[in-house]
Amino acid sequence: MSRFRDINAAPPIEVFALTKAYTDDSFPKKVNLGVGAYRSDEGKPWILPVVKKVEEMIAQHIKEEKLNHEYLPVLGLDAASSAATRMLLGSESPVLKEGRAIGIQCLSGTGALRVGAEFLARILNCKTFYYSIPTWENHRLVFVNAGFSEVKEYRYWDAAKRCVDIEGMLEDLRSAQENSVIILHSCAHNPTGSDPTEEQWKQIAAVMKEKKLFPFFDCAYQGFASGDLDKDAWAVRYFASEGFEMICAQSFAKNFGLYNERIGNLTVVTANSAVLPNLRSQITLIIRGMYSNPPHHGGRIVAMVLNDAQLFEEWKTCIKTMSGRIIEMRKALRSQLEKLGTPGKWDHITQQIGMFSFTGLSPIQVDHLVKVHHIYLLQSGRINICGLTTKNVSYVAEAIHDAITK
């Protein structure tokens, strides 16, 4: 008799189950609008030209033994984390000038969320966190596994009007317990593709300040919302300028196309630089006990690109290519649906930003798309716009039309 006999099956991870179902499907016109990963107009993964170039440089350095595979320090490559923190807060940030922030290389955005959450739960004894309804499916699991015991939600999405439910959100934040941690998406909210306006961010910050709530930004899409790195960091920089202490998890999966290199950064902003050495030492032990130290490759790429003016410009061109193609595909899908006379309004597809569109399709319509048309998308109706191409967008629009009118 096995000691493991009483283990229950854990539920599948929707987004990865969908990728597997898509991969296993032999239908020639199948389309994957599930996992949030960029695709070229040929429907292929895209290695950014600047990343290829830097990887060739790294390979050469390794050949010449100028680089090696020794351990990184527990907190990672300082050249990567300090550049990432600068990219987030802005090079002119008073927080940086006053030495009030620390950057820590982590295992992509998820790793940064986990380290930040564990630090808050174990060292600062935080118990309650709030996430938006809806949010990225992993937020809850990461925070609960990190030690948070009180899971709360705040309203975010007005499904009828297809926009941010700012009144609902503010009301929920106003009634939140002091010192609760609030997960905020810094830009390109996943899954809705709808961010608060600058005015609304100011209202959110005012309530959070009054109620002493702690902001934890998830910044997975800097550059993807507007194509402009500074604009996409507006909310984080506004909170910093308002004097908040806060944490921000950055991912370089999407904007560098480094999905499986697990390169991210955790930025902690404090009111006072004197607290940083102790804070650093505590996070060092958290990471040491979790995975000891991060891998080097992704950190090297990010450090080389962010610290070199010419490579940085080349990278910004790559971001423009990706965000530009997304905008084109949004327009194409909307116009095809309008041409077909598909019931409903489709302007939200071009109004929403970032990788995702929250289509408003019901779970039954989603099932129909998957089972009948081999188009894979989340049950929530979220589609990854990058999965659309000039060749498959008509097929997808016709299938959505069929799902709605059948």
Active centre residues (catalytic): 136, 218, 254
For the bound state, the minimum distance from the C-beta of residue 148 to ligand LMR, rounded and expressed in Å, comes to 20
For the bound state, the minimum distance from the C-beta of residue 395 to ligand LMR, rounded and expressed in Å, comes to 22
- Give the C-alpha separation, 166 to 198, whole Å: 12
- Give the C-alpha separation, 130 to 178, whole Å: 12
- The long-range contacts involving 60-66, CB below 8 angstroms and separated by at least 24 positions, are none
Instruction: For CA atoms 308, 311, 314, 320, give the dihedral sign.
Output: negative
Supply φ then ψ for residue 74, to 5 degrees: -55, -40
Instruction: Answer whether 85's CB lies under 8 Å from 79's CB.
Output: no
Q: What stretches of 54-208 adopt beta strand conformation (E)?
A: 101-107, 128-133, 150-155, 157-158, 163-164, 181-185
Tokens of 251: 């991912």
- Give the C-alpha separation, 189 to 139, whole Å: 13
Q: Which CB sits closer to ligand LMR, 190 or 389? A: 190
Angle between helices 234-241 and 78-89 (to 10 degrees): 80
- Give the C-alpha separation, 246 to 231, whole Å: 19
Which residue, among 207, 144, 218, has the nearest Cα to 178 in the 3D structure? Answer: 207
For the bound state, the minimum distance from the C-beta of residue 137 to ligand LMR, rounded and expressed in Å, comes to 6
Tokens of 104: 């820590």
Q: Is the peptide bond before 12 cis (omega within 30 degrees of 0)?
A: no
- Give the C-alpha separation, 127 to 214, whole Å: 12
For the bound state, the minimum distance from the C-beta of residue 334 to ligand LMR, rounded and expressed in Å, comes to 22
Q: Which CB sits closer to ligand LMR, 58 or 133? A: 133
Q: Which CB sits closer to ligand LMR, 15 or 47? A: 15
Angle between helices 198-210 and 166-174 (to 10 degrees): 10
**Contact residues for ligand LMR, defined by CB under 6 A:** 15, 35-36, 136, 138, 190
- Give the C-alpha separation, 67 to 64, whole Å: 8
Instruction: Write down how long the chain is.
Output: 406
Q: Which CB sits closer to ligand LMR, 128 or 194? A: 194
DSSP strand pairing (246-251 vs 214-219): parallel
Q: Is the peptide bond before 191 cis (omega within 30 degrees of 0)?
A: yes
Instruction: Answer whether 396's CB lies under 8 Å from 33's CB.
Output: yes
Q: Which CB sits closer to ligand LMR, 36 or 264? A: 36
β-sheet bridge partners, residue 356: 384
